Amino acid sequence: MPRPKTIADRKNRRPRERRATTIRKGDMVQVIAGDDKGRVGKVLRVFPKTNRLLVERVNFVKRHTKARRAGQQGGILEKEAPIHISNVLLHDPKVDRGVRVGVRRAADGSVERISRASGDALGKA
């Protein structure tokens, strides 16, 4: 594919193939890069199109809001911002750290995630 010459050409490029992620809503993850490195939190939401996820108490940003209606208060709100999926690892409570994830297929066809560090099951895939 030729290199795009303009911004419009860049926006019209073919989207990349999306891979299924091994991280789901409700999983406990450990942040491995950035300001919150080492923190463990629960995944609140997954954004598969952008490969990002929202993690509880991680990557706080300050949102300056203006009062829109009478009676509504403006101010500075703190809320979580999405973090890239490559900056987190699934947390394994047995080894108490973030681990790489593998997939094991059972004879009946069911699929489960396994920890590469301990070999234990981490839940359904």
- Tens digit of each residue's pLDDT (9 = 90 or more) over 53-85: 999 999 999 999 999 988 889 999 999 999 999
- The count of other CB atoms within 10 Å of the CB of residue 22 is 16
Question: Is residue 124 in some structural domain?
Answer: no
What does pLDDT average to over the chain?
Answer: 88
State residue 109's pLDDT score.
87
SS3 category, 94: coil
End-to-end CA distance of the chain: 35
Number of domains composing the chain:
1
Mean pLDDT of 23-37: 95
Task: Record the pTM.
Answer: 0.78
State residue 13's pLDDT score.
64
Question: Is residue 88 in some structural domain?
Answer: yes
State residue 81's pLDDT score.
97
Q: State which residues form the domain around 85.
A: 17-93
Question: Is residue 61 in some structural domain?
Answer: yes
Question: Is residue 40 in some structural domain?
Answer: yes
Question: Is residue 99 in some structural domain?
Answer: no
Residues 48 and 41: their CA atoms lie apart, in Å, by 19
